[in-house]
Structure 1
Amino acid sequence: MHYTELPKDVLEALRRGVVIPALPLALSIERKLDERRQRALMRYYLDAGAGGVAVAVHSTQFEIREPEFDLFDPILRIAKEEFDSFVNNTGKPIIRIVGIIGKTKQALGEVESALANGYHVALLSLGAFKDATNEEILEHCRAVAEKIPVIGFYLQPAVGGRKLDVDFWRAFANIKNVVAIKMAPFNRYQTLDVVRGVAESDRPQDITLYTGNDDNILVDLLSEYQIEVGGKVVKKKIVGGLLGHWAVWTKSAVRLLDDVQNGKYDNATNTMITRAIQITDTNAAFFDPANNFAGCIPGIHEVLRRQGLMEGLWTLNDKEVLSPGQMEEIDRVYRAYPHLNDDEFVAKNIDRWMS
């Protein structure tokens, strides 16, 4: 499928910029799939105003693909059913994103499952190519892009990614079925490498930029890059976010992006910087950079547990737990920034989502 075959309203929404949460995995105390809560999470994100959901990504836990758990297809199916129900009831365009990992054979098998379940685009993780050359990785990307539209993914090394230079991103942007890039290196220099690579490619206006930099969300959304290429200036903006951080307090994230797109911060630099710092501080509590992000998934689970959307913090990897002091940090940011949460919205709707 080429991106020009996507529903027109879906492609327009992607280009305009939307909130895209990364779907967590809801488990019972026995570490089995909790389907009722998994569906509730999907309903929460869609009712909160998200323009898409990313399924089978890092926040969903890569272990879902392991034979002992075998949850990749069930998660894709559950999300598909919730996508279908929401779109049928509302008519709203929703971007259906699937995380694709592994070497080429595995990736193409996952793409086949995703297409069978009606997913629109693949968020392509390159963690399996830690020692590969640019050309080896690009060959893999082209193979996947022959089957499904692709969102590139610059994932920070701390959670399974690898460093990718400007030459890679320039060549990657030239792949005809690449529609967007999620930039999540948590690094200003490496984020600029992506933007510069896109600007210097043959397709700068065809590539939509999304932030995955959970440590710098608002500043990314307000940034316009101006890159000189061949005597002309190419302007690129980051139009939306595809974020693990937006798997919590999603209604507030939707308000934030609406405020950005409606110009609320255009002449309010001090207000913007203050809010940006508050968001980064909450992310530090949730994502645990103090411990090299070891507690990032349980941190998201803890916020969802407090809201009643998750029963506990369990992950498929029983060693993946909150870091020492992380619970206290989450307590602190909850107290410090009550205006950032969406607890009231969740409380009003959770019974319906859980039914």
Structure 2
Amino acid sequence: MTDTPWENLRHGGVIPAHPLALDANRQLSERHQRALSRYYLDAGAIGVAVGVHTTQFEIRDHGLLRPVLELAAEEASTHPSDPFMVAGAIGPTAQAVAEAELARDLGYHAVLLGLAALKDQSEDALIAHCDAVAQVMPVIGFYLQPAVGGQTLPYSFWRRFAQIENVVAIKIAPFNRYKTLDVVRAVVDARAEERITLYTGNDDHIVADLLTAFSFPRDGQSVTVRIKGGLLGHWAVWTKRAVEMLNDIHTNQAGRSASEWLSLDARVTDANGVLFDVRNDFAGCIAAIHEVLRRQGLLPGIWCLNPKETLGPGQMDELERIYRDCPELRDDAFVAKNLERWLAA
């Protein structure tokens, strides 16, 4: 790991989307919330993303946005790795700007800017919105898949977005190869590849995204860029293994062949399909993450703020299958070794 949070971001790393720890009364469990942050940072994540979908957008309606951001910031401030801290910012422009200001005041480095609330806006309006937030603090763009509330954002949007000077990264998560290429090509055509670091959010294609060298012609020469890391809800579980995998990809220390890497990609995608409850249109994606963390002792239960948000039909059986078939993806021993310390005051 390099010397500063910004160098770590540019080098590429694991950034888990931080869950929300609730007790049986659906109240914030500060002890478990801190334990999660400690787990991610000790596992080697270069930072965490807080106030995002995995944290549950409803925290804003329950007065929990500031407390949850504060808890993660406090843990990061004492961790020797000097983490890169990302806060989610959503809603109309006034709300997104206010959330960016809060994140800035709490010491976060950048905001992951969600655009789902502006689905009906023109491209000009979207760019103006992004620019307004970028005036407050550095922005990480977010291409969210339509199946969970995102919208199709064309190449023209991403090229203009990449030209905003305070954009530092893009999380590419349309779950679509064509749309992923739109973003990468737009960054190259905007001559922003040195300033903007690409991160995958394509949970259906994590390993292959990280392995691929993307090349596009520009000025008569080929420009090659890579997706350097991931900002993922999937990496909120089994984080130590994700860090080891990404380090292997960066250095090829594992010595895997191309076919072996692609085989791993398929296994990770299979596991993700279970965690994200693809068979039930992603209904149980947060609850399944909670279930894995509950089994490890990092959460007291799988409760969400919305009582209706729980595991989907058949999802528990599928989790048992993944536990049986993919033991190499789990980091249970690492968690067990450190759990008591993470849960300490």
Could you tell me the TM-score, scaled by structure 2's length? 0.97
8 Å contact from structure 2 (residues 241, 330) kept in 1? yes
Does residue 1:166 correspond to 2:161, yes or no? no
Partner of 2:75: 82
8 Å contact from structure 2 (residues 290, 301) kept in 1? yes
The residue type paired with residue 214 of structure 2 is: Y
Partner of 2:322: 333
8 Å contact from structure 1 (residues 182, 242) kept in 2? yes
Unaligned runs of at least 5 residues, structure 2? none
Give the Cα separation in 2 of the matches to 1:36 and 1:122: 25
> 1:197-212 to 2 correspondence within 5 Å?
197-212=186-201
Partner of 1:93: 82
1:186: Cα distance to partner?
0.9
Which residue, out of 243, 253, 256, partners 2:245?
256
Unaligned runs of at least 5 residues, structure 1? 1-6
> 1:59-138 to 2 correspondence within 5 Å?
59-66=54-61, 69-86=62-79, 90=80, 92-138=81-127
Which residue, out of 22, 31, 40, partners 1:27?
22
List per-residue Cα deviations over 1:35-92 (Å, max 9, x = no partner).
11000000000110100100100000000011xx100000011011101121xxx2x2
1:108: Cα distance to partner?
1.0
Which residue, out of 137, 144, 150, partners 1:155?
144
The residue type paired with residue 208 of structure 1 is: T
Give the Cα separation in 1 of the matches to 2:44 and 2:5: 14
Give the Cα separation in 2 of the matches to 1:46 and 1:267: 27
Question: Aligned to 1:210, what secondary structure does the other structure show?
Answer: strand
8 Å contact from structure 1 (residues 265, 271) kept in 2? no
Give the Cα separation in 2 of the matches to 1:228 and 1:132: 32
The residue type paired with residue 115 of structure 1 is: R
1:266: Cα distance to partner?
6.7
List per-residue Cα deviations over 1:87-109 (Å, max 9, x = no partner).
xxx2x231010000011100111
Of the structure 1 ranges 177-186 and 231-240, higher mean CA displacement relative to structure 2 is found in 231-240
8 Å contact from structure 1 (residues 13, 93) kept in 2? no
Does residue 1:245 correspond to 2:234, yes or no? yes
1:339: Cα distance to partner?
1.1
The residue type paired with residue 248 of structure 1 is: V
Could you tell me the TM-score, scaled by structure 1's length? 0.94
C-alpha RMSD of the superposition: 1.3
Give the Cα separation in 2 of the matches to 1:75 and 1:29: 18
Q: How many residues in Structure 1 have an aligned counterpart in Structure 2?
A: 343
The residue type paired with residue 70 of structure 1 is: G
Give the Cα separation in 2 of the matches to 1:266 and 1:137: 44
The residue type paired with residue 334 of structure 2 is: F
List per-residue Cα deviations over 1:133-187 (Å, max 9, x = no partner).
1110000000000110011000111222111010000000000000110001111
List per-residue Cα deviations over 1:227-254 (Å, max 9, x = no partner).
1234222211000010000000000001
1:199: Cα distance to partner?
1.2
Give the Cα separation in 1 of the matches to 2:204 and 2:254: 19
The residue type paired with residue 291 of structure 1 is: N
Partner of 2:209: 220
Give the Cα separation in 2 of the matches to 1:276 and 1:263: 15
1:216: Cα distance to partner?
0.7
Give the Cα separation in 2 of the matches to 1:14 and 1:111: 19
The residue type paired with residue 118 of structure 1 is: G
List per-residue Cα deviations over 1:186-243 (Å, max 9, x = no partner).
1111111111111111323211100011111110110110012342222110000100
Which residue, out of 243, 247, 257, partners 1:268?
257
List per-residue Cα deviations over 1:278-313 (Å, max 9, x = no partner).
101110110011111111101111111111111111
> 1:187-198 to 2 correspondence within 5 Å?
187-198=176-187
8 Å contact from structure 1 (residues 182, 212) kept in 2? yes
Partner of 1:3: none
The residue type paired with residue 340 of structure 1 is: L
The residue type paired with residue 193 of structure 1 is: D
Give the Cα separation in 1 of the matches to 2:338 and 2:255: 33
